[in-house]
Structure 1
């Protein structure tokens, strides 16, 4: 699905599919963290089944108020103990499929919210 691009505001999802994310003009084919001012392709999460609390602790450096976890084409919920590094800091986590996470991130980011998208591709 093609999304509207507005680069002057920061990093936005411009398009997505089951095996790629397009951020502004850049096509990415790996898991990543996206914040309004940063693309982090070094996020060590490999796939949903290997998620650990340390993967969510890694996100804290971005100082989000909300994290959107995109779990690929299927909605999958991590065990609450994995989210403890974020929830203990009062940071909300919403779990969505990749398309919903892209669309929601763009809306929240355009509203000036400090949102981070943690995206797991299939």
Structure 2
């Protein structure tokens, strides 16, 4: 294969997401969940300094109490990964977080995991709640 071909270049180059801001980064997907460092999580809470396994309620029942560990540090906003597809979080939750001056961004869980890495790379003070990929 010629040395300039895409396959040869791919064999030589490895791209790793750099985490200049520190803290956990989702490095990939494992089954129906997420890989952070060497640990796989089915559902995940992320703060700027830790990743924690999560037993999420049904999305329709998501409330401040379920996100307690995330909002205690007053992040700029919370990414909510709603599973395989985008589902709007409960309006009562959005209103309660906005009353605390915490924004809410909902997207499917894969997109939320990717957004987490980009935003943390920028040093943003955020939090994330990621539902399983089969939810």
Shorter chain as denominator, the TM-score bin is 0.7 to 0.9
Match runs of 1:22-33 below 5 Å? 22-29=35-42, 31-33=43-45
- Residue 87 of structure 1 corresponds to 98
- 2:48 aligned to 26, 36, 51, which one? 36
Does the 8 A contact of 2:81 with 2:129 survive in 1?
Answer: yes
1:66 lines up with 2:77 in the alignment: yes
* Segment drifting more, 45-54 vs 70-79: 45-54
When normalised by structure 2's length, the TM-score is 0.74
Ranges of 4+ aligned residues in structure 1 off by more than 3 Å: 3-8
Kindly report the root-mean-square deviation, in angstroms, between the aligned alpha carbons of the 2 structures. 2.2
Does the 8 A contact of 1:56 with 1:82 survive in 2?
Answer: no
In structure 1, runs of 5+ residues without a counterpart are none
Q: How many residues align?
A: 118
Does the 8 A contact of 1:53 with 1:81 survive in 2?
Answer: no
How far apart are 1:70 and its partner, in Å?
0.1
When normalised by structure 1's length, the TM-score is 0.81
Q: Aligned partners of 1:18, 1:49: CA distance in 2, in Å?
A: 24
- Residue 109 of structure 2 corresponds to 98
| Structure possessing the higher radius of gyration over alpha carbons | 2
Q: Aligned partners of 1:26, 1:6: CA distance in 2, in Å?
A: 18
- Residue 78 of structure 1 corresponds to 89
